[in-house]
Amino acid sequence: MADPIPLALDGEESLTAVVGRLAGETRALATAEIAVYKAKFGETATAYKSAAMFFAIAGVLALAALIALLVGAILTLATLVGPGWATAIVVPVVLAIAGALAMVGKSKLKPESKPAT
């Protein structure tokens, strides 16, 4: 580490030299701070990338489980009404649930109205 700036200039170093050294050290400090933030951002980005990959895999597996559940519902209902009617019953019910969830989601996107003053 460089020697600290003397409090009293005794002729060894001019004011211009001190200001020049201060500017250089400030520039070096800023460069070091930027490097630290880049390193922190790199670590954070890597962590988020890894987490996003696990969330994507979890989403694919959840979708596969939902499809298996719907196929199971159709097969179970098919013993009572036949495969065609079971499909005709399960698909509209699932579409109605999806539509209701979409409407709830859409209502959450609307900006809240401001109360009249």
Whether pTM > 0.75 for this model: the answer is no
As given in the structure block, the two tokens for residue 7 are 């409090």
Single-letter residue type at 52 = A
Quick: pLDDT tens for 86-112. Answer: 999 999 999 999 999 899 988 888 776
Give the integer Cα–Cα distance in Å for 117 and 112: 15
Quick: pLDDT tens for 18-56. Answer: 888 888 899 989 988 988 888 888 888 888 888 889 999
Give the integer Cα–Cα distance in Å for 19 and 115: 58
SS (H, E, C) 5-60: CCCCCCCCCCHHHHHHHHHHHHHHHHHHHHHHHHHHHHHHHHHHHHHHHHHHHHHH
